[in-house]
Amino acid sequence: MSTLEKAGSAGADGSDRFVLITGCSGAGKSTLLAELAARGFATVEEPGRRIVREELASGGTALPWVDGEAFARRAIEMALADRRAAASEGWVFFDRGLIDAASALQTVTGEPVLGPLARAHRYHRRVFMAPPWPEIFETDPERRHGLDAALPEYDRLTQELPHLGYEVIVLPKTTVAARADFVLGMLETAR
């Protein structure tokens, strides 16, 4: 078994309290996570952004616009480490995560990693999807692609998540506080 497939069974690893917030780039996921953190919840920053910062600082090439495969493999390893490190007793909110990374690697290489990883390392059954939101989309040094490049990833995740057994909940385009209230309300009704 490869390091990408090791350990983790549904529920035993905290999956009943691990909440995945995914979706379109630039659609307010990180801002939502910041609001949830301000309310006292445990949050985990997006692996991709951390990798890009590290690679840019060190002159590395595991960047999505340079070596997509190396970037995705690092994102998988980081997402697995994030899950192991999540120690909170309550909800833990993940800004993207293992499914995003495995989907990216599978798309880049054709390697069938998504299904095995998704079965071995579950999140809460309700996954929150940030829909494309052109009005707030911005590029930055860590997000160099435009909205047109972000849409195929959003479409792919929208298709893959239900096939992996997740209930996809689309986040409303509203204030950050209202989005956080929405997420918490939807989780409360899922208990």
pLDDT digits (tens, 9 = 90+) for 117-151: 999 999 999 999 998 866 666 666 665 556 677 78
Q: What domain range is 80 assigned to?
A: 18-188
In the DSSP assignment, the letter for residue 111 is: -
Q: What is the CATH number of the domain that holds 35?
A: 3.40.50.300
Instruction: Say if 7 falls within a structural domain.
Output: no
Name the band, by pLDDT with cuts 50, 70 and 90, for residue 4: very low
Instruction: Say if 45 falls within a structural domain.
Output: yes
Mean model confidence pLDDT for the chain: 86
Instruction: Say if 1 falls within a structural domain.
Output: no
What's this model's pTM, rounded to 2 decimal places? 0.86
Instruction: Say if 11 falls within a structural domain.
Output: no
Structural domains of the chain, count: 1
Instruction: Say if 179 falls within a structural domain.
Output: yes
Instruction: Report, as an integer, the average pLDDT of 166-172.
Output: 96
Instruction: Say if 143 falls within a structural domain.
Output: yes
Instruction: Say if 9 falls within a structural domain.
Output: no
Check: CB of residue 129 under 8 Å from CB of residue 157: yes
Identify the three-state secondary structure at position 146. coil
pLDDT value at 87 more than 80: no
Instruction: Say if 118 falls within a structural domain.
Output: yes
Cα-based distances in Å from 134 to 2, 9, 35, 124, 148: 39, 38, 21, 28, 10
